[in-house]
Amino acid sequence: MGKTRIGILGYGNLGRGVELAIEKNEDLELVGVFTRRDPSSVKPLLPGTAVRPAAELDDGKADDVDVLVICGGSATDLPEQTPRYATWYNVVDSFDTHARIPEHFANVDESSRENGTTALISCGWDPGLFSLNRLFGNAFLPDGADYTFWGRGISQGHSDALRRIEGVADAKQYTIPVEEALEAARSGSNPELTTREKHTRECWVVLEDGADPERVFEEIVNMPNYFDEYDVTVNFIDQEELDRDHAAMPHGGFVLRSGTTSEGTSHVIEYSLKLDSNPEFTGSVLTAYARAVARLAAEGKHGAYTVFDIAPRYLMPCDAAELRAHML
């Protein structure tokens, strides 16, 4: 069997993560990064990567693409792109606006069913692997409690919120799980934990010349939804320090389920990720699921899927007998 041929649409941090991940999988081949920019202006990470105009994808013209991994943003790109490209290609996206998942799923499902393609939405680690572990935890311990902790890692949404404040030139925000809350969840006592008890927020802020740190501080800690319900620390630094010490994109987190199977008999399931690079790991997850999508498509299984619908064996390059012999 030939290699599964992957295309990447959109070449930000996540697209680069997918590019690197394909290199690690011998059964997969990158046929190109598709960009809406001038291809000659895009320098790929790896020397062998072809950069092609996104217009080549229109009307299904890029017939060397088995699966297209769409690496756009959830706010405006993916709601438009995924249903559109699902008319011509098998697709994978990382749509992560939880509240809009049912609507996005319906749109993509309609497009892919009508056109006989296979689509996976909302893939990555949350939504994605953390969702899987929430499902497994609820299935195996139906009488119990769920806990999800994120971090330590940079929250893009909260960093953007800081940068929108007047007088802020640049900023990064780390979400940090509170160790005592993690330990309480691990204890199996099913504690009730408030928002403030679970996470703290750490801000690294570069001020514009003449901005008043006092006012910026007050605006941050009182910002509704983003910061007002949390214990927040704010550190003012210069741009050089921000670029030097806060350019990496580590992330991770914990999904716990604790529950009882009979009076006084409790169990704790814990899943955790410790990631040096959020986009590289997310890209690697999308890449394994792109393999699964190619296989589902080859079996004639069309329409939209989530990670909940995909049997684990589709993620691995070897066949089921080999998996049973060596991994079960």
Which residues here bind its own copies, judged by CB under 8 A?
Answer: 17, 20-21, 24-25, 98, 101-102, 105, 122, 127, 129, 131-132, 134-136, 138-143, 186, 188, 261-262, 264-277, 280-281, 283-285, 288, 306-313, 315-316, 320-321, 323-325, 327-328
**Minimum CB separation from its own copies for residue 287, in Å?**
9
Contacts of residue 251, defined as CB under 8 A and 6 or more positions apart, other chains included, come to 150, 151, 152, 153, 154, 273, 275, 278, 281
3-state DSSP percent of the chain in helix, strand and coil, to 5: 40, 25, 35
**Minimum CB separation from its own copies for residue 184, in Å?**
14
Single-letter amino acid, residue 142: P
Q: Which residue's CB is nearer to its own copies, number 159 or number 258?
A: 258
**Minimum CB separation from its own copies for residue 183, in Å?**
12
**Minimum CB separation from its own copies for residue 292, in Å?**
9
Q: Which residue's CB is nearer to its own copies, number 1 or number 328?
A: 328
Contacts of residue 298, defined as CB under 8 A and 6 or more positions apart, other chains included, come to none
Q: Which residue's CB is nearer to its own copies, number 46 or number 55?
A: 46
**Minimum CB separation from its own copies for residue 125, in Å?**
9
**Minimum CB separation from its own copies for residue 139, in Å?**
4
Q: Which residue's CB is nearer to its own copies, number 53 or number 191?
A: 191
Q: Which residue's CB is nearer to its own copies, number 239 or number 261?
A: 261
Element (H, E) at 14: helix 13-23
Residue 89's region, left for phi above 0, alpha for psi from -120 to 50, else beta, is beta
Which burial class, exposed, middle or buried, applies to 314 when counting CB atoms under 10 A from its CB (0-12, 13-18, 19+)?
middle
CB under 8 A, 24+ apart: contacts of 98-102: 98/127, 101/127
Q: Which residue's CB is nearer to its own copies, number 121 or number 203?
A: 121
**Minimum CB separation from its own copies for residue 207, in Å?**
31
| The 3-state secondary structure of 214-231, one letter per residue | HHHHHHHHCCCCCCCCCE
Cα distance between residue 124 and residue 259, in whole Å: 26
Q: Which residue's CB is nearer to its own copies, number 120 or number 205?
A: 120
Asked if residues 101 and 302 have their Cβ atoms less than 8 Å apart, the reply is no
**Minimum CB separation from its own copies for residue 146, in Å?**
9
Give the strand pairing for 4-9 and 67-70.
Answer: parallel
Cα distance between residue 78 and residue 108, in whole Å: 10
Q: Which residue's CB is nearer to its own copies, number 181 or number 234?
A: 181
Q: Which residue's CB is nearer to its own copies, number 5 or number 134?
A: 134
Cα distance between residue 328 and residue 322, in whole Å: 9
Asked if residues 132 and 308 have their Cβ atoms less than 8 Å apart, the reply is yes
**Minimum CB separation from its own copies for residue 13, in Å?**
12
Single-letter amino acid, residue 182: L
Give the strand pairing for 118-120 and 303-305.
Answer: parallel
